[in-house]
Structure 1
Amino acid sequence: MAAAVTLQQMLPETIADLLPFGGLAADVVGALIGAFLVANFLLINTAVAGPWAKRKITAAFTDRIAVNRIGPFGLFVIVADAVRLLSKELIIPEGADRPAFDIGPLLIPFSALLGFAVIPMGSGIQLADPETGLAFAFAASSIASLGLVMMGYASNNKYSLLGGLRAVASNIAYEIPLIVTALSVVLFTGTLQTSQIVAQQTEPFVALGGLTIPTWFAFVNPFAFALFTAANLAEVGRNPFDVPEAPTEIVAGFQTEYSSVYFVLIYLGEFIHIFLGGALAATLFLGGGSAPIAALNVIPGIVWFTAKIWAFFLFTQWARSAIPRLRVDQFIEIGWKGMLVLAFANLVLTAILVGVLA
């Protein structure tokens, strides 16, 4: 199913072409400006999603009234929460391993932002496009597991240590089926290059009444899409897989001892990871920045991409409000004995199908 595709110019190259100077300096400045723009795009989305949209969505599901007093529709609660959290005292536990205690919260948002470096967002917005882009995205997001261990260990709190170990155990249990399911898409496309994976999904799949449906892998292999979405929920810590941070299970897990700006970094990283999960789902199964119908591709790709990552965010909030939490033993058992087996079965069946069609 692999095909030759026309690749768009990367965002840093586009910016470099607009600069009044050239050479290496233009490349460096273009890369820095591109990274700054993408990071701020994600931070703005996260700022809206965390303090405001999360409350509004949860309130709608539970028939309550959410924030509505500070600014229009309560939007200024974003500023109020930022001031409130950043002005709190930063408390360092006695006996904490200070370097690890400080570095841990930085790794959570950093790993998610780094993963977006290879995600094609449509309209030529992509920072880099290496041949191993998909592997890079998964590797970057996995750095967060190191931060979880560091925070749990460095806090000098036995509950935090247990919470950190539990979080890593859950990440491993669901990251393997997540990656194995993604490999089924790689078998179809014959590449790990994210731009080519997206480009191949723009090919016609079926025509209905004059409307052309693209070859999104969510249509080609809906079972793999459902499996990837479920594993994605576990990776971003949303019900029924939110055991790593479940306050009713073990205080607040790895983040128990964190306050002020460190808590903000952890909270920020959590929501950027949700958007990264949505971005990976969009890239692998939903055509990236392409429209669901070819006729709607007149709308810029970045609009479709943003809509898709927000759709995944809304899905995670629905799951958080509607699905009860699993026990930790059920959580691990489903990962190792259920989803991992299904992921490998899907991979084998996909390999057979690709071999027959080749």
Structure 2
Amino acid sequence: MGTAPAQLFPEFLVDTFGLPGVLGEVVASLIGAALVANIILAFSGIAGPWAKRKITAAFTDRIAVNRIGPFGLLIIPAAAVQLLAKELIIPEGVDRPTWDIAPILLPASAMLGFSVIPMGQIGPLNIHLADPEVGLALVFAFASIASVSLVMAGYASNNKYSLLGGLRAVAQNLAYEIPLIVTAMSVVVFAGTLQISGVVGAQTETLVTIAGFDIPAWFAFVNPFAFVLFLTANMAEIGRNPFDIPEAPTEIVGGYQTEYSSAYFVLFYLGEFVHIFLGGAILSVVFLGGASGPGPESISFIWFVVKVWGFFLFTQWARAAIPRVRIDQLIEIGWKGMLVLSFANLVLTAVIVGVIA
């Protein structure tokens, strides 16, 4: 099944309902944004209170939530009420409004990233809000705003543990975002475009046929070395084990979020999971063919869901199985290992593409 560029969702709404002029485009864009936001919020609502606990329990041979509702599913609304009902405690000496803005900025930055991610089709509906020519650069720019939020929270909290968490976030982001983007650029060299629909479209061909089975030309198969590099840097970018350094509870209490409670803590918790799903979405469109998969185009959204949830499952496996590295080890891996390997991969890719072309 190919993933040729389809009509964007806001354009579909304008044409279907005959929405007039600029106002119609704005209304269609807002409706589309609300749909995408609710999809991602639903993913995060399931992942945070329920799926994370059930998956970790399965990996560690324990029993997770199973008392509230069938399969423990009612823990989702119960946890929301529990957290939001807690008192919002504002410590003395915090730097406001920076302290207030930080928890809002974290989930908002990830939500913005989904504005350019093609999520596939549900019947005739193409769940894709915008497709700018520099879409891949734009999604990395949106995702990188998260580190600003963590620094703001750490600095404004008037707490040494929080400050350490914020500083660690900066160090980690600098060490791994460069290899992440450089590795993604090797895919751009293959695809010849920064437009996400073009990157996905370049992966719709058949790479090789084995025993009558077509292997798609996903960049994970074309360049598995780059895929492993990107996956590792992506884990550091979203702060998952073994790279959950900015909030390491055994060392710095809760890092940047130590002083946050109630709704503000919920926003940080939400932002963490939205960024995991954004990381999975980026990995999907860059290396796993986006929403492409067997079957008709009209069910491609299902394949997108499978891929991003597969990445979430991988992060939870890492959380249960891989010990956290020290901050000095994290920096050394990033600057001495990942950076060198990512540039080597980019140069080698450029040489191969140049020879083939």
Calculate the TM-score normalised by the size of structure 1.
0.96
What is the CA distance between 1:210 and its match in structure 2?
Answer: 2.5
Displacement of 1:167 after TM fit?
1.1
Structure 2 counterpart of 1:197: 199
1:95-144 per-position Cα deviation (integer Å, ceiling 9, x unaligned): 11110000000110000000011111112211100000000000001111
Query: Hey, what's the Cα distance between the residues in 2 that align with 1:166 and 1:210?
Result: 50
- What is the distance in 1 between the residues matched to 2:4 and 2:54? 41
CA distance in 2, matches of 1:206, 1:355: 21
Matches of 2:4 and 2:266, distance apart in 1: 41
3-state SS in 1 of match to 2:214:
strand
Judge conservation of contact 1:19–1:26 (CA < 8 Å) in 2: no
Equivalent position of 1:278 in the other structure = 280
Q: CA RMSD in A?
A: 1.1
Matches within 5 A, 1:311-322: 311-322=310-321
Q: Deviations over 1:309-338 (max 9, x none)?
A: 000000000000001111111011101101
Partner SS for 2:215:
strand
Q: What residue identity is the alignment partner of 1:286?
A: L
The residue type paired with residue 355 of structure 1 is G
The size of the alignment, in residue pairs, is 351
* Structure 1: unaligned runs, 5 residues or longer: none
Counterpart amino acid of 2:238? V
Question: What are the equivalent positions in structure 2 for 1:1-358 lying under 5 Å apart?
Answer: 6-123=4-121, 124-291=126-293, 295-297=294-296, 300-358=299-357
Contact 1:241 1:326 survives alignment (8 Å): yes
Displacement of 1:20 after TM fit?
A: 4.5
Secondary structure of the 2:28 match is helix
What is the distance in 2 between the residues matched to 1:278 and 1:340?
A: 21
Please give the alpha-carbon distance, in whole angstroms, between the structure 2 residues aligned to 1:249 and 1:227: 27
Q: Structure 2 length as normaliser, TM-score?
A: 0.96
Unaligned segments of structure 2, at least 5 residues: none
Structure 2 vs 1, CA of residues 310 and 6 (structure 1 numbering), >3 Å: closer, same or farther? Answer: closer
- CA deviation after TM superposition for structure 1 residue 21, in Å: 3.4
CA contact (8 A) 2:165 2:245 kept: no
User: d(CA) in 1 for partners of 2:105 and 2:31?
Assistant: 22
Q: Deviations over 1:232-253 (max 9, x none)?
A: 1111111111111111111111
- Residue 352 of structure 1 aligns to a residue whose secondary structure is helix
| 1:206 aligned counterpart, secondary structure | strand
Deviations 1:174-227 (A, max 9, x none): 111001100000000110000110011011211123322211000000000011
Q: Which amino acid aligns with 1:234?
A: A
What is the SS of the residue equivalent to 1:205? strand
Structure 1 residue 6: Cα displacement = 4.8
SS in 1 for 2:295: helix
The answer to whether the 8 A contact 1:189-1:197 is kept is: yes
Q: Distance in 2 between matches of 1:337 and 1:176?
A: 12
Shift of 1:11: 0.8
